[in-house]
Amino acid sequence: MELRRIKQILSSTADIDVVYNGTSVWIDGLNDDEQTATVHLRGPLEERSVVDIAELEEV
């Protein structure tokens, strides 16, 4: 996913579906290097992961 689009999603109030490795995730924030983002799975689990933004995909 492009950096510009992640910034748009983070500033949006809409529920935008994003997947990481086929699993739906919430983007919690863009990291300072602007190449990785912190995400967590949608649902009851709150485990957060740092992932490469190139591996995120908008559905």
Structural domain spans, the chain: 3-58
Report the percentage of the chain scoring pLDDT > 70: 100
- For 11, the token pair is 């500033």
User: 56 with 32: CB under 8 angstroms?
Assistant: no
Cα separation, 21 vs 59, whole angstroms = 12
Burial of 44 (0-12, 13-18, 19+ CB in 10 A): exposed
CA dist 35 and 24 (Å) reads 20
Q: pTM here?
A: 0.88
Contact 8, 18 (CB under 8 A): no
pLDDT(32) > 80 = yes
Q: Is the pLDDT of residue 44 over 90?
A: no
CATH fold label, 3-58: SH3 type barrels. (2.30.30)
